[in-house]
Amino acid sequence: MRLSGKTAIVTGGGSGFGEGIAKRFAEEGCKVIVNDINVEGGERVANEIKTSGGDAAFIKGDVSQDADWAAMLKFSLETYGDLDIVINNAGTTHRNQPVLNVTEKDFDRVYAVNVKSLYHSARNIVPHFRKKGSGAFVTIASTAGVRPRPGLVWYNGSKAAAIVASRAMAVELAPDKIRVNVVNPVAGDTPLLGEFMGEDTPEMRAKFVATIPLGRFSQPRDVANACLYLASDEADFITGACIEVDGGRCV
């Protein structure tokens, strides 16, 4: 098993890409801390992993809050005795709409969840990784951060910031043997799809899929497999990389 003996925190693990990552990691022998603000979803995923023979525990937490990150690290150490991997997956967006229609409240929420969370993640987890002499972060950003389009202006900006911050952190933390990589999915068939498209209709889905050369939305397992590689020892010489899991949309 590719993650045997390792422990990972997966934020936003109660649905969508996070659920797929948590379950895929558990299949490969990883002990998974499922984090989400949605208790029902997070507990469901952790219980499904355990029912399938894996090892998982749930902790509620808001990734935009420093105290919740401290609690996640403490919970991981108390539950499994260690922490090796952090998947910064939790994210949000504003609805696809003209730039001036986005409220300040929505802007602040997008940047708190998509960008400030990385700051809190680093502040709390890097000292632990430095102490143990290794660690891996994977940031789930978006193709929107490298191929921005109208309608999601502030979301695009938040994901671009997440990509650049993660890559800069990769260089700074390399001497500590801490790896930081990025996965950029195209929009997936997840609960946020309607927000990305503006409306979730068969016509809008067909219009969006037509822009993806491989002809479908990304699925949680697509993203999970990329994260699995980057978090595993197979990628121990890879840091600062961005993998587009997008069916060729960014080409």
pLDDT per residue over 203-225, tens digit each? 888 888 898 999 998 999 999 99
What confidence score (pLDDT) does residue 53 get? Answer: 98
pLDDT, tens digit, for every residue of 60-119?
Answer: 999 999 999 999 999 999 999 999 999 999 999 998 889 999 999 999 999 999 999 999
What confidence score (pLDDT) does residue 192 get? Answer: 73
Name the band, by pLDDT with cuts 50, 70 and 90, for residue 202. Answer: confident
200 three-state secondary structure: coil
Between 93 and 238, the more confident residue is 238
Catalytic residue check, 155: yes
Residue partners of 219: CB distance under 8 A and separation at least 6? 20, 188, 189
User: How far is it, in rounded angstroms, from Cα 193 to Cα 205?
Assistant: 9
| Whether pTM exceeds 0.85 | yes
Is the Cα dihedral 29, 31, 33, 38 positive or negative? positive
Give the CATH H-level superfamily of domain 7-245.
NAD(P)-binding Rossmann-like Domain (3.40.50.720)
Average confidence score pLDDT of the chain: 95
Q: Which two tokens stand for residue 189?
A: 């068939």
Write down the domain spans for the chain: 7-245
> Which among 80, 111, 119, 155 is annotated as catalytic?
155
pLDDT at 227 over 80: yes
**Number of other CB atoms surrounding residue 100 within 10 Å:** 6
Residue 236 is classified by DSSP as: T
**Mean per-residue pLDDT, 236-244:** 98
